[in-house]
Amino acid sequence: MSLKIVVLAKQVPDTRNVGPDAMTPEGTVNRAALPAIFNPEDLNALEQALRLKDANPGSTVTVVTMGPGRAAEIIREAMYRGADGGYLLTDRAFAGADTLATSYAISTAIKYIGDDVDLIIGGRQAIDGDTAQVGPQVAEKLGLNQITYTEEILSCKDGKIVVKRHIDGGVETVETALPVVLTVNGSAAPCRPRNAKRVMKFKRALCPMELAPGTTYADLPYADQYEKKPYLKLGQLTCADVNADLNQCGLAGSPTKVKNVENIVFKAKESKVLTGSDEDINGLIQELLANHTIG
Amino acid sequence: MANFYSDVPEIKFELENPLMERIVELKERGYREKDEYAEAPQDFADAMDSYEKVMDIVGDITANVVAPNAEAVDAEGPHCENGRVRYAEKTYENMEAMRQAGLNGLTMPRKYDGMNMPITVYTCANEIVSTGDAGFENIWSLQDCIETLYEFGTEEQHARFIPRVCAGETMSMDLTEPDAGSDLQSVMLKATFDEENNCWRLNGSKRFITNGDSDIHLVLARSEAGTRDGRGLSMFIYDKRDGGVDVRRIENKLGIHGSPTCELVYKNAKAELCGSTKLGLIKYVMALMNGARLGIAAQSVGLSQAAYNEAVAYANDRKQFGKAIITFPAVFEMISNIKAKLDAGRALLYQTARYVDIYKALDDIARERKLTPEERQEQKKYAKLADAFTPLAKGMNSEYANQNGYDCIQVHGGSGFMLEYACQRIYRDARITSIYEGTTQLQVVAAIRYVTTGLYSQVIADYEQVECKPEYQGYMNRIKAMAEKFNADVEMVKATGNQELLDICARHLYEEAANIIMCHLLLQNTNKAPELFAKSMNVYMNHAESECAKHHNFVNSIDAEQIEAYRK
């Protein structure tokens, strides 16, 4: 059975390697100081999609990502690992979106891709916002079943999927009918590496948004390649392409308002010196148990 | 995230050597496959861009999968179960990552699913993987045995075996036997032709076979009954799918624990001939060995890089007398020597790889069409240089890897002697590099004719003509002075006409030549990229000069009468 799979992925600032200049004085993320990376749990999601593709010949994996031109890097990175192609969802009207407006925009893109999508797979959450809301909201907007906290897809056949979920205190195995939205945990199988031949094949793939203003593919180096190899022109969708309601997009469609941002500075008030003796270690453990830091 | 390629700009510098343009032009036959394969390069710049991107993948996997697994692989090692090898658990993870990334059969033609990359690029990958885990590098890099099958096998054999290697199947070269180590002429594994089944049958045993339970073996065996020397030996391909070869035991080694070193038993194993009979040792194994020696040179450089990384990290971290120990001259002098040997050795490694690339690419072209007289001359020139440089690159880098591993432990002090730090694994892993694929002593044997025929002297004279910036002219003058002494030493030893004296002096003359050549190569690098090499140039110059003085003194002190004092 061939499957039509959409992977939702986001380019995020690498908040795992935060330096002293990670925040601006105003308390917002200093994107310039943090490298832009593939959201880690979206890579776990991509791996699940690619495994389904491996097991079901003829399946396609299409990446959807929302962001400015440079976010197209996410589509290339996914193609290097095995995805067939993707769309950059990009429009000024999408800017400033909270999770509600984002999931609306993404759901319109999925409708654009087709009503025959079997699976929509995304990471549990992005490391810049940590809300874990977009996946479930996309499912709601499309009226689809959803399985969150996916650890592993155990089987997917005859229109049914069986998934192992990682939940508090254990695992749960659930079954549902396709089409379905899955969100995948970071503890699921890590994503496969970039493949050398695919990197060489797709390294020049570009979205129109990435071209210098006023230029076309014909102005690029190796311009003939874009004519000969259509897959080098990556998909791009604007608000108009997906027929989105402007009132539900971007800032206009975002009920979330940031009321206040506070800078938290951790300051150690006191310190204690312990030796490596059993007595000191026992004392520390008792203390940590008592104040519920552990246990 | 760490990346063992992009974190080491010296590797990229070597990859961008001007000779690459010629190499890629030859290898890609004027970019004739650019419309046939989506991944084939359009031109030189495109090819270089692709090589870099692929090396970035190698650097990523090595830093983030292979290196973190190295400790567990070293501790567990492979197991022998029912005549088969089971690798350490994490070795499978490494292999799977390499397979998924498509990093097998790098140098093979695209029509057999390869990537048609130059050996120089493959050497980069080899070095990088070795920095992560030299034991795993052994298993992975044995893919280069396919070069020999490609060179001497039939087209039908190419079509059957090469795609399998490109898909990730492993290889081994089954040469050594209990009584045939350095002396491969004594190989006794019996090959007999089975008329009934129209195939060859192998019977006997092999020993010290790296990755001996591989999928595809190249086997040296005696096909000519009654012979006792190298002319009775042929090369065979054994396919594990056919069965007949079992692993009797796995050796318990000092280092490279991840790599299974096997004793093999051949019981009427079905095999097919590779090339012609009787050329097994004298032609094919020689080709196989030269490739393998370049591989060990790369492995050694990777180990030196690992030793450097560990030494620097520890010396920055460790504080004594209120200061990081890297601030003490006794410590930073050691570390700068590691770096200088690393940079000089790496320059020699890649110069060798480039020489190999040019002649091999021309060899390959010669299989399609007749070479022009200029091309034939070019082929001859580079084949000779490759033959002369390979034993230098292998011998010197493997000795450096040992020295650097030793110094890396020394930087760690008492902690280095404990088994908790990576430095002890690097030290143990490095130890084999100066032994296998021909000991350093055998590298000297392979190189000494180029000392006595004056080829190294000629190379050195040519390098003296390379343009040198005024600020580095001082180095050039010092290297010239070293060369003068070297040439005089060679003439003096030759003039005695005493072969035994020459044999005793051989290692010293070899090291003089190697030190001078590495000084030149490092100087050429410094001229182009002082920001990367100027410090190492200074340090290595001092080191090489004192080494050469030592060897010069030895050669001038010894004479035929003193040999008895050495004889045991």
Question: Which residue in chain A is spatially nearest to B42 when comparing CA positions?
Answer: A222
For residues B484 and B479, what is the distance between their CA atoms, to the nearest angstrom?
A: 9
Neighbouring C-beta atoms of residue A274, cutoff 10 Å: 10
Same domain, B115 and B148: yes
> Do residues B490 and B448 make contact, with C-beta atoms less than 8 angstroms apart?
no
Question: Which residue in chain A is spatially nearest to B57 when comparing CA positions?
Answer: A194
CB contacts, 8 Å: A222 with chain B = 42, 46
Q: Which amino acid is at A280?
A: D
CB contacts, 8 Å: B60 with chain A = 193-194
The Cα of B47 is separated from the nearest Cα of chain A by a number of Å equal to 9
Neighbouring C-beta atoms of residue B519, cutoff 10 Å: 27
CB contacts, 8 Å: B35 with chain A = 228
> Do residues B207 and B263 make contact, with C-beta atoms less than 8 angstroms apart?
yes
CB contacts, 8 Å: A226 with chain B = none
Quote the DSSP letter at residue A246.
G
Question: Which pLDDT belongs to residue A27?
Answer: 61
For residues B21 and B44, what is the distance between their CA atoms, to the nearest angstrom?
A: 7
Question: Which pLDDT belongs to residue B1?
Answer: 83
**A156 to A1, A2, A162, B226, B248: CA distances (angstroms):** 9, 11, 6, 63, 43
For residues B448 and A18, what is the distance between their CA atoms, to the nearest angstrom?
A: 56
What value does the mean pLDDT of chain A take? 92
* Inter-chain CB proximity B100 and A222 less than 8 Å: no
Q: Is the residue at B2 inside a domain?
A: no
Q: Which amino acid is at A121?
A: I
> Do residues A142 and A106 make contact, with C-beta atoms less than 8 angstroms apart?
no
Domain end position, chosen among B221, B250, B279: B279
Question: Does residue B35 belong to the interface with chain A, where contact is any CB pair within 8 Å?
Answer: yes
Q: Is the residue at B229 inside a domain?
A: yes
| Number of helices followed by number of strands (H, E) in chain B | 20, 11
**pLDDT tier at B304 (50, 70, 90 boundaries)?**
very high
Phi, psi (rounded to 5 degrees) for B72: -65, -40
Counting the structural domains of chain B, the total is 3
What is the per-residue pLDDT across B464-485, written as a single tens digit (0 to 9) for each? 999 999 999 999 999 999 999 9
Mutate which of A200, A202, A229 to test chain B, going by most B C-beta atoms within 10 A?
A: A200
**pLDDT tier at A34 (50, 70, 90 boundaries)?**
confident
For residues B457 and B471, what is the distance between their CA atoms, to the nearest angstrom?
A: 25
Q: Is the residue at B557 inside a domain?
A: yes
- Tokens coding B514: 């190697």
**DSSP E strand boundaries for A218-281:** 235-237
**pLDDT tier at A244 (50, 70, 90 boundaries)?**
very high
Q: Among A211, A218, A250, which Cα is nearest to A105's? A: A250
Dihedral class, residue B66 (left if φ above 0, else alpha if ψ from -120 to 50, else beta): alpha
**pLDDT tier at B223 (50, 70, 90 boundaries)?**
very high
Q: Is the residue at B533 inside a domain?
A: yes
CB contacts, 8 Å: B101 with chain A = 192-196
Strand partners, B250: B262
Spatial neighbors of B25 by CB under 8 A, at least 6 apart, are B44
CB contacts, 8 Å: A192 with chain B = 97, 100-101
CATH number of residue B500's parent domain: 1.20.120.470
Alpha helix segments (H runs only) across B413-472: 414-417, 422-431, 440-452, 455-464
CB contacts, 8 Å: B50 with chain A = 199-200, 203
For residues B244 and B202, what is the distance between their CA atoms, to the nearest angstrom?
A: 9
* Inter-chain CB proximity B53 and A199 less than 8 Å: yes
The Cα of A8 is separated from the nearest Cα of chain B by a number of Å equal to 22
Question: Does residue A222 belong to the interface with chain B, where contact is any CB pair within 8 Å?
Answer: yes
Same domain, B252 and B153: no
Same domain, B316 and B234: no
Question: Which pLDDT belongs to residue B229?
Answer: 93
Question: Which pLDDT belongs to residue B415?
Answer: 96
Question: Does residue A51 belong to the interface with chain B, where contact is any CB pair within 8 Å?
Answer: no
Question: Which residue in chain A is spatially nearest to B53 when comparing CA positions?
Answer: A199
- Tokens coding B390: 């390979």
CB contacts, 8 Å: B115 with chain A = 196-197, 200
**DSSP E strand boundaries for B51-198:** 79-81, 84-86, 171-174, 190-194
- Tokens coding A142: 């499309």
The Cα of A140 is separated from the nearest Cα of chain B by a number of Å equal to 36
Question: Does residue A203 belong to the interface with chain B, where contact is any CB pair within 8 Å?
Answer: yes
Same domain, B98 and B213: no
**DSSP E strand boundaries for B54-102:** 79-81, 84-86
**DSSP E strand boundaries for B136-183:** 171-174
- What is the maximum alpha-carbon separation in chain A? 74
* Inter-chain CB proximity A200 and B54 less than 8 Å: yes
CB contacts, 8 Å: A198 with chain B = 39, 102
> Do residues A171 and A151 make contact, with C-beta atoms less than 8 angstroms apart?
yes
Same domain, B153 and B296: yes
CB contacts, 8 Å: A203 with chain B = 49-50, 53
| Predicted ipTM of the assembly | 0.94
**DSSP E strand boundaries for B305-416:** 319-320, 323-324
Question: Which residue in chain A is spatially nearest to B99 when comparing CA positions?
Answer: A195
* Inter-chain CB proximity A195 and B115 less than 8 Å: no
What is the per-residue pLDDT across B270-291, written as a single tens digit (0 to 9) for each? 999 999 999 999 999 988 888 9
Assess whether pLDDT exceeds 70 at residue A28.
no
The domain limits of chain A are 4-253
Phi, psi (rounded to 5 degrees) for B57: -65, -45
Same domain, B428 and B347: yes
CB contacts, 8 Å: B42 with chain A = 222, 225
Q: Is the residue at B306 inside a domain?
A: yes
CATH number of residue B202's parent domain: 2.40.110.10
Domain end position, chosen among B434, B463, B479: B434
The H or E element spanning position A46 is helix A40-55
> Do residues B397 and B343 make contact, with C-beta atoms less than 8 angstroms apart?
no
Mutate which of A77, A80, A197, A224 to test chain B, going by most B C-beta atoms within 10 A?
A: A197
Mean pLDDT for B223-245 is 96
For residues B126 and A65, what is the distance between their CA atoms, to the nearest angstrom?
A: 36
Q: At what angle do helices B67-76 and B422-431 cross, to 10 degrees?
A: 70
Residues B260-284 as b/e (b if ≥16 CB within 10 A, e otherwise) read bbbbbbbeebbbbbbbebbbbbebb
Question: Which pLDDT belongs to residue B325?
Answer: 98
Give me the residue from B49, B60, B102 closest to A197, CB to CB. B102
Q: Which CATH number fits domain A4-253: 1.10.3720.10, 3.40.50.300, 3.40.50.2300, 3.40.50.620?
A: 3.40.50.620
Alpha helix segments (H runs only) across B2-43: 9-15, 19-27
Same domain, B451 and B427: no
The Cα of A199 is separated from the nearest Cα of chain B by a number of Å equal to 7
Interface A:B, Cβ pairs < 8 A: 50
Same domain, B128 and B197: no
CATH number of residue B385's parent domain: 1.20.140.10
Question: Which pLDDT belongs to residue A273?
Answer: 83
Quote the DSSP letter at residue A206.
B
* Inter-chain CB proximity A196 and B61 less than 8 Å: no
> Do residues A73 and A11 make contact, with C-beta atoms less than 8 angstroms apart?
yes
**pLDDT tier at A26 (50, 70, 90 boundaries)?**
low
Same domain, B145 and B183: no
Question: Does residue B63 belong to the interface with chain A, where contact is any CB pair within 8 Å?
Answer: no
Same domain, B157 and B290: yes
Domain end position, chosen among B415, B434, B453: B434
* Inter-chain CB proximity A194 and B46 less than 8 Å: no
Question: Which pLDDT belongs to residue B519?
Answer: 98
For residues A32 and B404, what is the distance between their CA atoms, to the nearest angstrom?
A: 40
* Inter-chain CB proximity A203 and B35 less than 8 Å: no
Question: Does residue B42 belong to the interface with chain A, where contact is any CB pair within 8 Å?
Answer: yes
Same domain, B26 and B141: yes
Tell me the pairing of strands A180-184 and A119-123. Answer: parallel
Q: Is the residue at B3 inside a domain?
A: no
> Do residues B49 and B379 make contact, with C-beta atoms less than 8 angstroms apart?
no
- Domain ranges, residue B537: 440-566
> Do residues B393 and B349 make contact, with C-beta atoms less than 8 angstroms apart?
yes
Q: Is the residue at B4 inside a domain?
A: no
* Inter-chain CB proximity B100 and A192 less than 8 Å: yes
Dihedral sign from CA coordinates of B94, B96, B101, B107: positive
What is the per-residue pLDDT across B55-96, written as a single tens digit (0 to 9) for each? 999 999 999 999 999 999 999 999 999 999 999 999 999 999
Q: Among B236, B232, B242, B211, which Cα is nearest to B153's? A: B236
Q: Which amino acid is at B4?
A: F
Question: Does residue A164 belong to the interface with chain B, where contact is any CB pair within 8 Å?
Answer: no
Same domain, B22 and B146: yes
| Number of helices followed by number of strands (H, E) in chain A | 7, 11
What value does the mean pLDDT of chain B take? 97
Question: Which residue in chain B is spatially nearest to A35 when comparing CA positions?
Answer: B1
- What is the maximum alpha-carbon separation in chain B? 79
**pLDDT tier at A130 (50, 70, 90 boundaries)?**
confident
> Do residues A207 and A72 make contact, with C-beta atoms less than 8 angstroms apart?
yes
Give the HSE-up count for residue B68: Cα atoms under 13 Å, Cβ half-sphere. 10
Question: Which residue in chain A is spatially nearest to B106 when comparing CA positions?
Answer: A196
For residues B219 and B60, what is the distance between their CA atoms, to the nearest angstrom?
A: 34
Give me the residue from B38, B60, B97 closest to A201, CB to CB. B38
Question: Which pLDDT belongs to residue A22?
Answer: 75
CB contacts, 8 Å: A77 with chain B = none
Q: Is the residue at B1 inside a domain?
A: no
* First vs last C-alpha separation in chain A: 48
What is the per-residue pLDDT across B479-530, written as a single tens digit (0 to 9) for each? 999 999 999 999 999 999 999 999 999 999 999 999 999 999 999 999 999 9
For residues B279 and B277, what is the distance between their CA atoms, to the nearest angstrom?
A: 6
What is the per-residue pLDDT across B128-169, written as a single tens digit (0 to 9) for each? 999 999 999 999 999 999 999 999 999 999 999 999 999 999
